[in-house]
Amino acid sequence: MIFDKKTRAKSSIKAIIVVCIIYAVMKILMLPQINVINPFYQTIVMKICIEITLALGLNLITGITGQFSLGHAGFMSVGAYTAAYIMLHWTVNLATIIISALAGGIVAGIIAFLIGIPTLRLRGDYLAIATLGFGEIIRILIQTTDKSFLGGAAGLSPIPIYSNFELVFIMAALCYVCINNILKSSYGRSMVSVREDEIASESMGVNITNVKLLAFVAGTFFAGIAGAMYSGYVGFIQPKDFGFMKSIEILMIVVLGGLGNIKGTVAATIILNIIGVILQDFAEIRMILYALLLIIIMIMMCGESPWIIKMRNMLNIKKFNFKGRGKAGA
Amino acid sequence: MELFIQQIINGISIGSIYALIALGYTMVYGIIKLINFAHGDILMIGAYVGLYCVLLFKLPLIPSIIIAMILCALLGVVTEKVAYRPLRNAPRIAVLITAIGVSFLLEYIMVYFFKANSRTYPTDFFSFGSANIAGITIPIDKMVVAGITIALMILVQIIIKKTKLGKSIRAVSSDRDAAQLMGISVDRAISFTFIIGSALAGVAGVMYGAMFTINPLMGIQPGIKAFVAAVFGGIGSIPGAILGGLLLGIIETLVSAYFSSSIKDAVAFAILIIILVVRPSGLLGKNVKEKV
Amino acid sequence: MNVMQADHISIVFGGLKAVDDVTIYAKKGELLGLIGPNGAGKTTIFNMLTGVYAPTKGSIAFVNNSGAEINIKGMQPYKVSRIGVSRTFQNIRLFKNLSVLDNMLISMHKDVGYSVFGAIIKSGRYLNIEKEFYDKAIKILQAVKLDGKKDEYAKNLPYGEQRKLEIARAIATGAEIVFLDEPAAGMNPSETEELADLIQILKNEYNLTIVLIEHDMKFVMKICQRIYVLDFGILIAEGVPKEIKSNPNVIKAYLGEEIE
**Model pLDDT for residues A43-99, shown as the tens digit of each residue:** 999 999 999 999 999 999 999 999 989 999 999 999 999 999 999 999 889 999 999
CATH number of A40-315: 1.10.3470
Q: Which contiguous run of DSSP H or E holds residue C178?
A: strand C177-181
CATH superfamily of C2-95+174-255: P-loop containing nucleotide triphosphate hydrolases (3.40.50.300)
Q: Report chain A residues whose CB lies below 8 A from the CB of B272.
A: 129-130, 133
pLDDT value at position C246? 85
pLDDT above 50: residue A40: yes
What's chain B's length in residues? 292
B187 in reach of chain A (CB within 8 A): no
B186 in reach of chain A (CB within 8 A): no
What's chain A's length in residues? 330
Query: Considering CB atoms only, which of A133, A295, A323 is closest to B273?
Result: A133
Q: Pick from A175, A192, A203 the residue to mutate for testing the C interface (most C CBs within 10 Å).
A: A203
pLDDT value at position A323? 45
Question: Residues C34, C35, C36, C42: what is their CA dihedral angle, to the nearest 10 degrees?
Answer: 40
- Give the closest-approach CA distance of A218 to chain C in angstroms: 10
* pLDDT category of residue A324 using cuts at 50, 70 and 90: very low
How many angstroms separate the Cα of B213 from the Cα of each of A61, B108, B120, B123, B217? 38, 18, 5, 11, 11
- Chain-centroid distance of CA A12 in Å reads 23
Q: Please name which of B223, B196, B228 lies closest in space to residue B24, comparing C-alpha atoms.
A: B196
**Chain segment B164-207, per-residue pLDDT in tens:** 989 999 999 888 889 989 989 999 999 999 999 999 999 999 99
C88 in reach of chain B (CB within 8 A): no
Q: Please name which of C247, C234, C217 lies closest in space to residue C23, comparing C-alpha atoms.
A: C234
For residues A305 and C242, the model is more confident at C242
C153 in reach of chain B (CB within 8 A): no
Is there a cis peptide before residue A158, judged by omega within 30 degrees of 0?
yes
pLDDT value at position C186? 83
Question: Pairing between strand B136-139 and B130-133?
Answer: antiparallel
Per-residue pLDDT of chain C (260 residues; tens, 9 = 90+): 788 899 999 999 888 888 999 999 999 899 999 998 888 889 999 999 998 888 988 999 998 777 788 888 778 899 999 988 999 998 899 999 899 999 999 999 998 989 999 999 999 899 999 999 999 999 999 999 999 999 999 999 998 899 999 999 999 999 999 999 999 988 888 889 999 999 999 999 999 999 999 988 889 998 999 999 998 889 998 999 888 888 888 888 877 766 65
* Global pTM value: 0.89
* pLDDT category of residue A117 using cuts at 50, 70 and 90: very high
Span of A255-259, A270-274, A326-330 with lowest mean pLDDT = A326-330
CB B62 within 8 A of CB B274: no
Q: Report chain B residues whose CB lies below 8 A from the CB of C52.
A: 292
Averaged pLDDT score across all residues of chain B: 87
* pLDDT category of residue A325 using cuts at 50, 70 and 90: very low
pLDDT value at position A327? 32
Strand, coil or helix: A81: helix
Q: Please name which of C202, C212, C159, C160 lies closest in space to residue C181, comparing C-alpha atoms.
A: C212
Q: Please answer yes or no on whether C76 and A182 come within 8 Å at the CB atom.
A: no
pLDDT above 60: residue A329: no
Q: Report chain A residues whose CB lies below 8 A from the CB of C90.
A: none
pLDDT value at position B289? 52
CB B171 within 8 A of CB B184: yes
C221 in reach of chain A (CB within 8 A): no
Please name the residue of chain A whose CA is at the shortest distance from the CA of residue C152: A327
How many angstroms separate the Cα of B55 from the Cα of each of A35, B48, B68, B122, B213? 53, 10, 14, 8, 15
pLDDT above 90: residue A315: no
How many C-beta atoms surround the C-beta of residue C246 within 10 A? 9
- Give the closest-approach CA distance of B214 to chain A in angstroms: 18
pLDDT value at position A330? 28
The full set of domain ranges for chain B reads: 2-223
Q: Which contiguous run of DSSP H or E holds residue A201?
A: helix A198-203
How many CA atoms are closer than 13 Å to the CA of B35, on its beta-carbon side?
Answer: 24
Q: Report chain C residues whose CB lies below 8 A from the CB of A321.
A: 97
pLDDT value at position C202? 93
